[in-house]
A and B are shown apart, each in its own frame.
Chain A
Amino acid sequence: DTEVTQTPKHLVMGMTNKKSLKCEQHMGHRAMYWYKQKAKKPPELMFVYSYEKLSINESVPSRFSPECPNSSLLNLHLHALQPEDSALYLCASSQVTTSRRDEKLFFGSGTQLSVL
């Protein structure tokens, strides 16, 4: 199984809603990532988990709250989002290598989020 599965595929939410994005992989990868991508732009890193611990937070607003309950699952909890948060949210995973530099990322198909 070389897939990263993200649910839901599409999400529409109001600015006062609370919702969660889910990501799952069964490749034994111990690094998991959240990226935000606007149309036709490169992905922007949001969070990195290594061995289920948050290792990188790229100064993301607190209305985005990540969670890694176990080595296969990654969640992104959303609360009080703004319309400018509308984007494709991508989850990725990778093996943790010694140098960390040669890791290749496996991406899910993403959740297309619209904030009204």
Chain B
Amino acid sequence: AQSVAQPEDQVNVAEGNPLTVKCTYSVSGNPYLFWYVQYPNRGLQFLLKYITGDNLVKGSYGFEAEFNKSQTSFHLKKPSALVSDSALYFCAVRGPPGSARQLTFGSGTQLTVLP
């Protein structure tokens, strides 16, 4: 069965500093990996996805994520955090064909950017 782990419930970072939100995955075969963000009182918004190709994926709002197959990780990064980036972030994975087709979400990481 596929799974994702977000080891940090909460990440605090000062505005202007780089941020990292961690995600590790477990899936047989090639993973399809996603990051979604949820602002207060809103639904989830797609940020970026990794399917194949370049290990560094660029997404919305200046976010990027690095796929590392040997470490089975897909960490979300941004060079300079904004207060408006404060939100709940979910990593998600889809497994190979024939497995459960739907997204498996991580437990979420609350990011707080301090002014």
B67 on interface, CB distance cutoff 8 Å: no
Q: How far is the CB of A24 from chain B (nearest CB, A)?
A: 14
Asked if A110 and B43 sit within 8 Å, CB to CB, the answer is yes
Are B102 and A107 in contact, with the CB atoms below 8 A? no
CA distance in complex: A100, B49 (Å): 14
| Cα–Cα, bound, A40→B97 (Å) | 30
Residue count of chain B within 8 Å CB distance of chain A:
24
Contact A105 B103 (CB under 8 A): yes
Q: Is the CB of B43 within 8 A of A41?
A: no
In contact, A90 and B34 (Cβ under 8 angstroms): no
> Is B25 in the interface zone, CB < 8 Å from A?
no
Closest residue of chain B to A110 (Cβ to Cβ) is B43
30 intermolecular pairs with C-beta atoms under 8 Å apart: A6-B43, A40-B108, A40-B110, A41-B108, A42-B90, A42-B105, A42-B106, A42-B107, A42-B108, A43-B105, A45-B102, A45-B103, A90-B43, A92-B43, A92-B44, A101-B32, A101-B51, A101-B94, A101-B101, A102-B32, A102-B49, A104-B46, A105-B36, A105-B44, A105-B46, A108-B43, A109-B41, A109-B43, A110-B42, A110-B43
